Amino acid sequence: MGVRRQAREATLQMLYLCDNCKFPSEEAMEGYFQTLLLQSVGTAFARQLFNGALEKRAELDRLITEFAENWELDRMAAVDRNILRLAAYELVEMPETPINVIIDEAVEIAKKYSTADSGKFVNGILDKLKSARKQPGQASETKTKAQPAGKA
């Protein structure tokens, strides 16, 4: 398994601790890294993903909810929800990583850590969400689906 995959899996586990077990972010991260054997580049990448996903959580949740038609965030499995947050952060905020790599990694992680159908579920939402990706030089606001007239 590659260093970046290990970092993504570590990030998922830390996000899960914060989301589902209500760990403070510092405790989840520091406690996790004390027991994790990641190369330094993997640790740096995991920290970047974890901190970014937490910092942008409200925006990411809004995007996920927007593109997850007929699914409320709190009804999603906790693992799937956090995989989507992790991948959404990477899609929106890290344009140097190819879209297909992000989606493939998220699908594989969903298959490993969640249910048999989670890969398809995660893939479907991320495939729609990829339109929110920032382009190089684009301002920090993300693109979303056009809103119907009269809605903000």
Does residue 105 form part of some domain?
yes
Does residue 80 form part of some domain?
yes
What pTM value is reported for the model? 0.83
Does residue 67 form part of some domain?
yes
Does residue 68 form part of some domain?
yes
Pair of tokens at residue 24: 């403070």
How many angstroms separate the CA atoms of 130 and 112, rounded?
22
- pLDDT digit string (tens) for 113-151? 999 899 999 999 999 998 877 665 555 444 444 333 333
Does residue 111 form part of some domain?
yes
Domain CATH code at residue 63: 1.10.940.10
Residue 15, domain extent: 3-132
- How far CA 37 is from CA of 56, 128, 134, in Å, comes to 27, 34, 32
- pLDDT digit string (tens) for 30-80? 777 766 666 676 888 999 999 999 999 999 999 999 999 889 999 999 999
Does residue 30 form part of some domain?
yes
Does residue 149 form part of some domain?
no
Does residue 88 form part of some domain?
yes
Number of domains in the chain: 1
Over the range 44-60, which residues count as b (16 or more CB within 10 Å of their CB) and which as e? ebbbbbbebbbebbebb
Ramachandran assignment for 22, one of left (phi > 0), alpha (psi -120 to 50 degrees), beta (any other): left
How many angstroms separate the CA atoms of 58 and 65, rounded?
11
